[in-house]
Chain A
Amino acid sequence: DTGVSQNPRHKITKRGQNVTFRCDPISEHNRLYWYRQTLGQGPEFLTYFQNEAQLEKSRLLSDRFSAERPKGSFSTLEIQRTEQGDSAMYLCASSPTGGEKLFFGSGTQLSVL
């Protein structure tokens, strides 16, 4: 399977705990994006990487959120001290340099109790 892969598929955690999600983009894609989608809404942009460099961050990405892409391949999104309002689907997408088509993974559904 050469699509975008996200793990875990589902995560249930208690408020205040830290969680980390992983995204493996399509191998030849240099660009990687994180989006958040709440029920009944479209995805909202969180952050974007070009190779290992994090080039853009949305105001939605509070200081409790951190994303990394250390080797320019897979990426992790960590949420510290989770809050109930963090409950959402976290989507990862990738695209080749110069490409405007985003290829999405199946997402990680986070539930904060």
Chain B
Amino acid sequence: AQTVTQSQPEMSVQEAETVTLSCTYDTSESNYYLFWYKQPPSRQMILVIRQEAYKQQNATENRFSVNFQKAAKSFSLKISDSQLGDTAMYFCAFMKYNNNDMRFGAGTRLTVKP
């Protein structure tokens, strides 16, 4: 079974600074996808970034980037130049290739302070 672990229940960062959220996962699969989703107070899950396991290059989306370490089964999210609107719950998620069961971690609550 696949499990996703987020070891930081809460984090905070000053506006304009950089913060890194941690995620580890456990799987015996070689092909899979990893995701970071953001859930603001509106409760709608918003895709932040995704990584395909077969790609060695780390994904980036504007201020968001990941550090994907396949051997270590680690998938951290770095948010640069943090903005107040980044305040939200962040969920790391795993999906096997050609599967439809996306597994989520317990989430990290990020607060960006002015």
**In the assembled complex, which residues on chain A have CB atoms less than 8 Å from the CB atom of B44?**
104-107
Residue B93 interfacial (CB < 8 Å): yes
Residue B68 interfacial (CB < 8 Å): no
**In the assembled complex, which residues on chain B have CB atoms less than 8 Å from the CB atom of A91?**
45
Residue B84 interfacial (CB < 8 Å): no
Q: Which of A40, A42, A104 has the most CB of B within 10 A?
A: A42
Residue A74 interfacial (CB < 8 Å): no
Residue B64 interfacial (CB < 8 Å): no
The stretch from B14-22, B74-82, B95-103 touching chain A is: B95-103
CA distance A44 to B101 in the complex (A): 9
Cβ distance A86 to chain B, nearest Cβ, rounded Å: 18
CA distance A112 to B101 in the complex (A): 27
CA distance A10 to B93 in the complex (A): 26
How many residues of chain B have a CB within 8 Å of chain A?
21
Cβ distance A43 to chain B, nearest Cβ, rounded Å: 5
How many residues of chain A have a CB within 8 Å of chain B?
24
**In the assembled complex, which residues on chain A have CB atoms less than 8 Å from the CB atom of B37?**
104
Name which residue of chain B comes closest to A48, CB basis.
B100
* 24 pairs from A and B in contact (CB 8 Å cutoff): A31-B100, A33-B100, A33-B102, A40-B106, A41-B106, A41-B107, A42-B4, A42-B91, A42-B106, A43-B45, A43-B91, A43-B104, A44-B104, A45-B101, A45-B102, A45-B103, A55-B100, A56-B100, A56-B101, A58-B101, A104-B37, A104-B45, A106-B43, A106-B44
